Structure 1
Amino acid sequence: MPHYARRAFACCFVLACPASALADVEYLDSEQGRVTVEAIAEGLEHPWAVAFLPGGAGMLVTERPGRLRIVGGDGRLSEPLTGVPEVYARGQGGLLDVHLSPDFQQDRLVYLSYAEAGESGKAGTAVGRGRLADDLSGLEGFTVIFRQQPKLSTGIHFGSRLVFDGDGHLFIALGENNQRPTAQDLDKLQGKLVRIYPDGEVPDDNPFVTAEGARPEIWSYGHRNQQGAAFNPWSGRLWTHEHGPRGGDEINIPGPGRNYGWPLATHGINYGGQPVPEAKGEVVEGTEPPHYVWETSPGISGMAFYDSEAFPQWQHNLFIGALVDQSLIRLQLDGDKITHEERLLKQIGARIRDVRLGPDGHLYLLTDSPSGKLLRVGLDAR
């Protein structure tokens, strides 16, 4: 399972953050004790994703305008790394997710998702990989392994999150480029969760490999704008979440070949207050209902299950960032059932773009701002 790989990876990683390098600690009340918030790094331009390097080498952070940086243990930002692909940095587009290869200790491969321009002036999500140089200065031999086709975005709804399972597959959670009907079209990659091998090849057991007129990469469809994906470490199942329109943000547990409804089934309406034209209701025959839904959209982004021993109060919790609500959402789990919700960090008033569980048991958050921050969040042990 993916969390086993993370545990093994963590044993060789020590986050060296001396107290003198950190900003003052904020203490915020919560149902499970006082939450601690420390700013590890500041001055990041619309940071989108963070990944932890082994051996105390710091953290890779993407900035949406197209920069990849390393945040050191002392909070210092590196110069932008070389070898990063050119990105379509318009609207919500740019450099997006970052993920280390499951075999990073051997191959040093870094995977990036980003918005890529096409010949028509429109864009789509692409994914590629390159080797992190030994001196950490850049990516070598960057190669594109996946392109969302056709390219339909004019600057919004790219998705996207990357996640590896324990069997050698890469899942890519995509948006529908604000072209609603395409989420139902199996000959297009908009609004899909796709499953490929790390080199871009398509597994023979994908659900639509033999379906005429369907893209073989597709794992599930009927998604809107997916910005969260993580494997549940206790069940081994992949969870994703996506933005609804005005209302209807949702969590799904995508199964192979399943249709998750958008835009036929939704709990939301258009931003102008009118119904979604294609919508037939909240529940539509032939589509899967959401596992969990917010009638009022918090604007969700980033997702991390908590299975560390550092803060036992957070065991069997799921944490999700909220852009619109400017909070960290804590969801308490009983198996796959979500039994309780709490909104944390509203006092700091920040749009939270990414949420990751660090090897030290703390949560690491990125705030979406022209001068964004990397935050380290825990519980007060005193």
Structure 2
Amino acid sequence: MALIASTAAHAACHQPYGPAGDWPTHHVFDDGTDLGLAFKYQYDVDRFLDDGGRFRDAHTNRRKELGVLLKKKGVYSATAVFDFQARSWLDVYARVQTRALFGTDAGAIRVGYAKTPVGFEGNTGTGSTTFLETALPTQAIYASRRIGADWAMLRPHWLVDAGYYWGGDLQGDSDGHMAAARAAWTPRRSAGDVVHLGLSASRETPQGSTDGRGLHSDPAARLRARPEVGLTTLRLVDSGKLAPVDSIDRRGAEALWIGGPWSVQAEYLDARVTLRNGRPRYHADGYYAFASWVLTGESRSYANGNVGDVKPTGAAGAVELAVRYSELNLDDASLPGGREHDWTVGANWYINRHLKLQANYVRARSDRRGLVVDPDVVEARVQISL
């Protein structure tokens, strides 16, 4: 509790708005056009134990995101978000509903820079995750954002999302092409009563690049993960640079059950990197599973094929407890990238819809090329969002 209080004190010094009810968020014009701002601020504190001196305790900003939103219900939506902490663009896209274009609902078409569909936890908003950081396999295998176009169809008991990406990312990296698709069956989909089962797959063909000095770099891939801690650059497992790469195939399987205050979520991710020059294909995979219980009786929210935060109903907010196991295998016959498995225990206090406190204890265990590193981590976060 002292760690949470310390984190809250740091965040309070940076809080840009007054009480939650006074925060300006958007303006709706007479024709229904909605213009608004999106803001997310996170301050983290990390403390490492039994790490052999390899990691450094840290406390600093985790995210400082500011975005502009423009939408008209049933017609279009557009957004542009920048993270001033990471100094990188996040979602920058426009989406249009086909009903508005053709008079028939055939889904939505999106063009711009957005998350790719292979992965469940990776597509969850960074402000809505049950734990402070994503699980090991999500970090290593999920492809994140690319420039391209996708089409999504959402129905009461199923959803499909397919995209083609051709422009790398807005940071000037990840050149190449990717085709990706995700499908899910939702036989139960109502507030506090959800069953979601999904599959996804993609193929990426990276491209080499030439810098301003005329130096050429072969197309490459690298799979690695932090020990589910955000304020460190150290990885316990790492494939190293794989090059030259011909293609990267990713696959995923996902499951979610929400029953009132209880929830179970699990995901398996797999990556196969095909190398050139007759070198053997590199294979990595991993999975996680977690359970959560909202002590105050609310449920995790679910919409558009993904989960969101618990929405508190009482004056004292909502409290959630969760436990997660994750495992990642980057060892392959051709390259020993290491193995790691983590246990994480978490507690979340949703004070209101704009203020959230989180605390995690992570017990990480890894083995890479005979080097065993087993840190324990205590971490906490204050999040302010609108």
TM-score when normalising by structure 2? 0.30
Between structures 1 and 2, the one with greater strand share: 2
Q: Compare CA radii of gyration and give the structure with the larger one.
A: 2
